[in-house]
Amino acid sequence: MATVLEARDLVKEYPGVTAVGGVSFAVEEGICFGLLGPNGAGKTTTVEIIEGVTPATSGEVYYYGEPAGAKFRQEVGIQFQKTALQDFLTVRETIEMFQALYDRKADFDELIEQCSLGDLLDRDNRKLSGGQRQRLLLAVALVNRPRLVFLDEPTTGLDPQARRNFWDLVQNLRALGSSIVLTTHYMDEAEILCDEIAIMDAGRIIAQGAPDDLLRGHYEGLIIELPIGDLTDELAEIEHTIYENLGIVEFVTTDVSASLQQLSPHVTNLNHIKIRQPNLDDLFLDLTGHSLRA
């Protein structure tokens, strides 16, 4: 598999602040690569440096082994986290305008079908709902049949239904062969969509790999969680790997039955106990000591 994109030691410094402190990663052809982290981690700055809209303090970006340049601009599609479109234009006119900026063009009808915009073509941009607007922005990002698509927090602010619809669109896109770089702070989104992830915190990548591999590498077993108020004893007296966050205590165990037996004398209400698989939220908390949503 060819390497579509390679970021080498990207640094972005503002006076008194290092927003991105030496980020490097590579994206293989045909995969969905997730850049995860809390707000302010440096995800958007990193992708905007790669996209060429924010100048880096230092570092290099390569597209199919060449420094990113005119070919990169022709062949990538970008959906920014925040983008305004021209007022008073319809969905059709907006797509046509952006399509005219590229040499490569997607088939208009296929694009409309792909993004489910068929009923909205003559609607004013300003009169779209949040989900419809995101679908239009995705269509704008796809007008040039991109080989590589950047999606920067595409589902932020969408309701659950619209989020799931958007995930379907991204999965279809991947099935059609495009490579995707997705930034998000939704771990469930990353787990569903991404083949590989890099977790960022404070401008650096702190973990990178396939989501399952990362979780397997950090956790052995399942997580038992219960409200801290249900514990009768101090945490230190219980022999398990323990995390505490937002009033919830989590115990990592490879033997759930044995753990429950050991815990039960120390818990006032067993009905509050939950048993689940570890996820990327747990991993992030484990790696950084603070929550993703903090």
Partner 1 sequence: MLRRIFAIFRGRNREFLRDRASFAWNLLLPIVLIFGLSFALGGDRNTYTVGILQDSDDILEEQHPFLSMRYIRFVPTSNKDDALRKVSRHQLDLLVEFGEAPRYWVNPDSSKGYFVELALLQSDGTAPPTIDKEQITGDAVRYADWVLPGILGMNMMFSCMFGVGYVVVRYRKNGFLKRLRATPLTSFEFISAQVASRMVLIICITVFIYTGTHLILDTRMEGSYFTLFLVALVGAVSMISLSLVISARVTSEELAGGLLNMINWPMMLLSGVWFSLEGAGTFVQNLARIFPLTHVLDSARAVMLDGATIGEVAPSLLALTALSMVFIGIGAKIFRWGQF
Counting every residue, how long is the chain? 294
Query: Which C-beta is closer to partner 1: that of 93 or that of 286?
Result: 93
Q: Is residue 280 a contact partner of residue 191, using CB atoms and an 8 Å limit?
A: yes
Amino acid at 59: G
Smallest gap from residue 83 Cβ to partner 1 (A): 5
| Interface with partner 1, residue 15, by CB under 8 A | no
Task: Count Cβ atoms within 10 A of the Cβ of residue 247 and give its class: 0-12 exposed, 13-18 middle, 19 or more buried.
Answer: exposed
CA 166 to chain CA mean position, Å: 13
- How many residues of this chain interact with partner 1, rule: CB under 8 A? 28
Does 121 bind partner 1 (CB under 8 A)? Our answer is no
| Residue 152 in contact with partner 1, rule: CB under 8 A | no
Nearer to partner 1, 55 or 160 (CB): 55
User: Please, where are the H alpha helices in 142-235?
Assistant: 160-175, 187-193, 211-218
Asked if residue 158 binds partner 1 (CB under 8 A), the reply is no
Q: Given candidates 16, 55, 160, 247, which one binds partner 1 under the rule CB under 8 A? A: 55
Piece of 83-91, 189-197, 224-232, 285-293 that binds partner 1 (CB under 8 A) = 83-91
253 in Cβ contact with 271 (< 8 Å): no
First to last CA, the chain: 37
Among 2, 17, 70, 246, binds partner 1 (CB under 8 A): 70
58 touches partner 1 (CB under 8 A): no
